[in-house]
Amino acid sequence: MKKARDPRILANITVGFALFTIILILLAGRVLAGVDVFAHGEVYQGRSFMVFISETSDTPTLESVRDASLVFDGKKIAFYPYEKGMRAIVGCEPEKKPGEYPIEVKYTDNGGKVNLREISIMVSPKTYPKVSFWLIPSKKKLLAPALVDDEWGQIEKKLLDESPAKLWYGFYLRPVPGITTMPFGTREFVNGKPRSRHRGQDFRAQTGTPVAAAHNGKVVIAQFFKAFGGTVVIDHGQGINTLYFHLSKIIAHPGQEVKKGDRIGLAGSTGIASGPHLHWGMSVHDVRVDPMQWVETVIP
């Protein structure tokens, strides 16, 4: 009669297998860095959201994750170091149709392997107002698309030139105290004809009202344009810029490092403007987003 297997041998086999498994898990942890990729589940049209690459294990190995980028809406966006991981800030166009969209994330891990991950984001609808206004004929000719495109091209070049250092922290400052006269995302009808959406926040501001830098940064544009008038653009780092249009006087100069609240110019109605106001814009990797989100909530 066959004897049953010695229970001691069985126990040894079980312990051996368990040890082997633990060693495998530890090795895998070292090589794969226990990386997790995730985004906020939802973003409203015209707003900003964040995507993170973070550590899932207790062993901090993420510093060796490099060359991280993502593609959303056909645009490649860089990640930058953030706390113990990496982060990308993404702007959602106000015209983006509501629905679920893929985000393709690519990074090189500490084993030198290029990893691809696909996550998704839900774009939720946001209602923006409509407004009609009239421009005086002398300024109407400034609406020539070629002129606007040419001037915008000069500004856009600076928006695309990203600097890795993050110069802001916490809430952004509303640059003038006046009430909002036209919110971000408003559909404009000029002299009865539909134009693109309003890509900034307009505040009531008499000519000569001091305009403050919304946060710490470096001035990359400080000059007069025909369409945008007196213009200042501040680079806050990592692809985030704020824009100030229609200034009557420019105080800041290109290359200047400004602190949150510093006076950068005086409000006015230069360029295409139906009256004195400040047009304040926010650019996230060259996508104009709702700047008030950055005032009302912290994007750290």
Binding site for Zn ion (CB under 5 A): 200, 202, 279
Minimum distance, C-beta of residue 253 to Zn ion, in the bound complex (Å): 24
State the minimum distance, in angstroms, from the CB of residue 293 to Zn ion.
17
Nearest to 236 by CA among 268, 282, 270, 273: 282
| Structure token digits, residue 155 | 């500004």
The amino acid sitting at 166 is: K
Cα distance between residue 135 and residue 240, in whole Å: 31
Inter-CA distances, 145 with 152, 156, 185, Å = 10, 16, 20
Residue 174 or 279 with smaller CB distance to Zn ion:
279
User: In the bound complex, what is the minimum distance in angstroms from residue 185's beta carbon to Zn ion?
Assistant: 11
Q: Which is nearer to Zn ion, 238 or 269 (CB)?
A: 269
Burial of 203 (0-12, 13-18, 19+ CB in 10 A): buried
Cβ 278 to Zn ion, closest distance in Å? 8
In whole angstroms, what separates CA 186 from the centre of its chain?
Answer: 20
Minimum distance from residue 273 beta carbon to Zn ion (Å)? 8
Phi and psi at 58, nearest 5°, equal -80, -20
The nearest distance, CB 267 to Zn ion, in angstroms, is 12
Q: Return the C-alpha torsion angle 146, 148, 153, 158, nearest 10.
A: 170
Q: Measure the CA–CA gap between 285 and 40, rounded to whole angstroms.
A: 18
Residue number with CB closer to Zn ion (29 or 275): 275
Distance (Å, rounded) from C-alpha 104 to C-alpha 255?
Answer: 35
Q: Give the span between the Cα atoms of 108 and 213, in whole angstroms.
A: 37
CA dist list (Å): 102 to 36, 55, 75, 84, 117: 16, 22, 12, 25, 10
Compare residues 105 and 264 and give the one whose CB is closer to Zn ion. Answer: 264
Nearest to Zn ion of 31, 295 (CB atom): 295
Taking the complex as a whole, the smallest distance from the CB of residue 182 to Zn ion amounts, in Å, to 6
CA angle 263, 265, 267 (to 5 degrees): 120
Beta carbon nearer to Zn ion, 34 or 200: 200
Closest CA to 214 of 146, 168, 180, 253: 168
> Whole-angstrom Cα distance, residue 91 to residue 73?
10
Q: Which is nearer to Zn ion, 218 or 279 (CB)?
A: 279
For residues 201 and 216, which CB has a smaller minimum distance to Zn ion in the complex?
Answer: 201
Which residue is at the shortest CB distance from Zn ion? Answer: 279
CB of 210 to Zn ion, least distance (A): 19
